[in-house]
Amino acid sequence: MENFKIDIDADGIAVIAFDVPGRSMNTLTSAVMKEIPELVERIKTDETIKGAVITSGKASGFCAGADLGDMAGGVLSGGGDLQKAFDAGWALNGAFRALETCGKPVAAAINGLALGGGLEFTLACHYRVVENDNKIQLGLPEIKVGLFPGGGGTQRLTRLVGVQNAMMAMSEGKSFRPNDAKGAGIVHEVVEKGQSVEAAKAWIKNGGKAVQPWDDKSFKLPGGGPYHPAGIQNFMVGNAMLRKQSYGNYPAVVNLMKAVYEGTQVPMDAALRIETRYFIKTLMTPQAQAMIRSLFLSKQELDKGAVRPAGVPKSDPKKVSVLGAGMMGAGIAYVQVMAGIETVLIDQTQEAADKGKAHVEELLKKRLSRGQMTQEKYDATLALVTATTDYDHIKGSDLVIEAVFENREIKADVTKRAEAQLVEGAVFGSNTSTLPITGLAEASVRPEDFIGIHFFSPVDKMMLVEIILGEKTGQAAIAKALDYVLKIKKTPIVVNDSRGFYTSRCFSTFLMEGMAMLEEGYGPALIDNVGRMTGMPRGPLEMHDDVALDLSYKIAKQTALDLGDKYVPTEGADIVAKMVEGGRYGRKNGKGFYDYDTKPKTIWKGLSELAPTTKGIDAPEEPGAFAQIDELKTRLLYRQAVEVARCWAEGVIDDPREADLGAILGWGFAPWTGGPISMIDGIGLAKFVETADRLAATYGDRFKVPELLRDMAAKNETFYGRFAPEKAAA
């Protein structure tokens, strides 16, 4: 076997090292899944083997789960033949079932992360030992890509920890650290690093039982099943909780509940087949296919530098200076030092610079307290930050990131001061979220090395970085910016210059459509509830508070100055201006559309004076009530998607992967769609244009589509077809 190495010791215990060749991390590739039945047969029939320990041959982890590209291709290659699809899906599930019924004790020695199919592999073993390392995660995160566990996870985890705990873990995609996993009942033993194999062997030598709990005649489901007085409550309440989580947008959530509900009422063999049927049904949904493509396949490609200019030598930034030590600048400093980059953090006063470094220290202390970092590593990492007001410290930097106030004059000043310290070839990156890069580059004496590097807040949690090209930005600067983003372990997208670029420009339309609804007389609670129902993380008014109303106000003023007579005020601009002038800046000062001095937050009563509520939705029992809600949801999603299409038509963005992933990671565009481009393709260009035309006729030109979409609709094209990534790269 290529992927498993077997070593049988003197006690007849086979230590099986899972080691996929040519990969830094084990995954359940199609080749691995073909070998697992062979491995099981060897354990079962080889008389010299008395028991087996399965561990990883890699230091990076046990197994990161299934290779979704392989899986989707294998299942869907049957051309819609359900029997072929089921057989492909059952292959892994059946192999794991054969493992746990092979008649010999099998233990998992988990010496690294085990996620998705990787954890399911260990759940099919009779005993699980994990090493005490807080870098190790154990979990079933499939829901995050529109799926649910399909390798026995829905049935084995439920039988181990009960319906409520299992459903919470699977529906949230929750990961556990080793000791938490033991406390939850997912693993049996936690041992020191390097001791997992010996501990697993000891369990076998001491008479480890070769029968799973659920195969014992005395087994009872923890907490009870669907017809148990206590167990039924889990399903009654669970339905409501899952609806609250998903708003009906994710088939995976519903099918997960069905698999658990039905599977807990039958023996394991039947339960696993039920799981496979629902898994295949989910995998074939447009939502799952779109999410797998964007959140797994496209993300993997972009994380590996798929859009990096060819022929430019790789760079490795060792020292990077950050101008501005506020929350954004300090966040950037943190991710840099976590990547081992020497960081100079500069602000106008030493007090401000020190405050920025203190934020880095605070984030590092959290890692230290959680056991994710040693004291030695903590000290060395914090020492990489120099907080100062002295621009001379910039000397030797490979890159400068400017993260100062959104004011053209201030940015021009710090650009000149920083560039005076840089050697030829060093890159200057602006973290501006709205101001065009070409205009900012006018302050630079080397515009070919000037580029936009737009982070999202909070930097330590947000995974996207938007790289913006000015008119004169050179290929070397693009490559160096991408190398930097990949080194700090963020996902990059590359876009061309425009006011607001791609993410800020398109995200603002979600806020503005919410403001349009407010002006029309819809109540703020209704607007935000409908916003969440679309699959966005929060409603438009809530998100406006999060972004900060005074920032919107200042951006509007700067845009008005820049555009002059061409400036058109956005929806609700007067309402926002009055709120800001009255001291309501949003969540940051506890006063915006909501008041935040109570928990939960409450809608600001004064809003009814600025925007009286005159419209509502009919009661649910009234005809057309749901159609009214659907109309509002359609407006919020289409407004964003139309702006994305305009960005495409204007050449701001030209790769469907970057457009979709940038939208989901950048501003939280409804993940179930796979992103706005996937949404348009999924709806169909002709139908999308037809609906957008109706919206434009009813609500205004903000829904008017570019001619590109009409042309594509006439030719029955899709974005992923006409603008395939390889075509975009070419």
**What 8-state DSSP symbol labels residue 61?**
-
Query: What residues contact 236, with CB distance under 8 A and at least 6 apart?
Result: none
Q: Is 466 a catalytic residue?
A: yes
Spatial distance between the Cα atoms of 429 and 437, rounded to a whole number of angstroms: 9
Helix (H) or strand (E) holding 391: none
Q: Half-sphere exposure (CA, 13 Å, Cβ side) for 92?
A: 32
State both tokens at 517.
């609804």
Q: Is 459 in contact with 401 (CB distance < 8 Å)? A: no
| Total Cβ atoms within 10 A of residue 672 | 25
Spatial distance between the Cα atoms of 306 and 292, rounded to a whole number of angstroms: 17
Q: Half-sphere exposure (CA, 13 Å, Cβ side) for 308?
A: 22
Spatial distance between the Cα atoms of 234 and 232, rounded to a whole number of angstroms: 5
Spatial distance between the Cα atoms of 619 and 598, rounded to a whole number of angstroms: 29
CA distances from 550 to 466, 571, 589, 591 (A): 23, 15, 11, 11
95 DSSP β-pair partners: none
To which residue do tokens 């605070």 refer?
362
Spatial distance between the Cα atoms of 257 and 246, rounded to a whole number of angstroms: 12
Which of the following is catalytic: 131, 466, 643, 658? 466
Strands (E) across 225-377 are located at 319-323, 342-346
At 585, phi and psi to the nearest 5? -105, -10
Q: Is 109 in contact with 132 (CB distance < 8 Å)? A: no
Q: Is 53 in contact with 15 (CB distance < 8 Å)? A: yes
Helix axes 573-581, 549-563, angle to 10 degrees: 120
Taking the CA atoms of the chain, what radius of gyration do you get in angstroms?
Answer: 28
Spatial distance between the Cα atoms of 441 and 452, rounded to a whole number of angstroms: 10
Closest-CA residue to 382 (of 323, 351, 338):
338
Q: Is 566 in contact with 579 (CB distance < 8 Å)? A: no
Spatial distance between the Cα atoms of 684 and 10, rounded to a whole number of angstroms: 64
Spatial distance between the Cα atoms of 55 and 200, rounded to a whole number of angstroms: 10
Q: Is 80 in contact with 16 (CB distance < 8 Å)? A: no
**Catalytic residue IDs:** 466
